[in-house]
Structure 1
Amino acid sequence: MAFLLHQARFFTTVNHLRDLPATARPEVAFAGRSNAGKSTAINLLCNQKRLAFASKTPGRTQHINYFSVGKADEPAGYLVDLPGYGYAEVPEAAKAHWEQLLSLYLQTRAQLAGLVLMMDARRPLTELDRRMIEWFAPTGKPIHALLTKCDKLTRQESVLALRTANKAFDEYSKQGYEGKLSAQLFSALKRVGLDEAHEVIESWIAPEEKSTAA
């Protein structure tokens, strides 16, 4: 099966909101705690080995990386790799920069079509994960959680992790969050959940193509 994300290439890196590209196509942002497997997941989804890089010093990368998907001369949209968060040894100044950069991007970026939230299946919905959801919630746009590294859990533990995430998302919906909240199990090592993730992300970038195919 041919996937739109397989036509991904590096586009640009920005360190300040004022430098965000003046793109008109949909963007899908990827967020997650440091070491949640975000870079590995992006590379797998795009069928490339070194498209997204994990920092050698977790939590120190404070840039937003853009990757275009689709045709080189006319991209269908963009994947946006946000800085990892939650690493304890990051200086306070870096934490403040991260918080301002991510919160304002998630709350104000009109081109943003949806948020892919990476959470380690063994430790889902930490306080910082919830903060990301609560920053994005007022936009009414969808969030899809990838419960990464599920290969490290037993089948019963995986079922429990997914149930925990869905229960938490149900609570957000009851609180008035209008955007669709969904979750799935994901393992880059075992390639678990790959097709499901492709389906969700590509429906955000090119909804007209998905509706036509249906």
Structure 2
Amino acid sequence: MAKQAASRRRKPVEDMSGTGRPADLGVLQALVTETLLALGENPGRNGLLKTPERVAKALAFMTQGYHRDIDQLLNGALFPIEYDEMVIVKDIDFYSMCEHHLLPFYGKVHVGYLPNKKVVGLSKIPRIVDTFARRLQVQERLTVQIAETLKTKLNAHGVGVVVEARHLCMMMRGVEKQNTVAVSSSMLGAFRTQQQTRLEFLKLIRRSGVGTSD
């Protein structure tokens, strides 16, 4: 079974632009069955009969960001406007998969930008977050990808992104710390060069943290 699955495997998706090929559910199911056997389980018992199929579909869903195109997502959602104050969308829920352990990490994303004669439809910002979160990721790269995409596509004067996340690879294994929140940021343009702009953004998104009350 291992040889059959290996013969059907394709090169890993390396294109981070969001134009990768769809997941191969058949290969994924075969590999999940192999994994269950390697763990000493019996894939034929009642509770596991449909598990390979379910896991394959779940993995395909959780990595669907590889197959989303940012330009198509933003098509028709950029609007000319004479507005030069900060735009912020905060507390965007996200779920992603740690590429080191294939375990979830989740939390909040806060995004702000200074428009340069155009703005993006507000609903598109969470969609951009999901596009990059629904991949095998590390938090730092996720943060940078969101910020650089908005800076490039909007030609914004500046972009700030802060990500707060809990990592199950730190909670379920390793150090086993249940209340640790990882925080990462990416500040571009005016958010990086102008302290006042950066501080305004950080003040407006201020919160007590992921999973706690404000």
What TM-score, normalized by structure 1, do the two folds share?
A: 0.25
If asked which structure has higher relative contact order (CA below 8 Å, sep 6+), I would say 1
**Structure number with bigger Rg:** 2
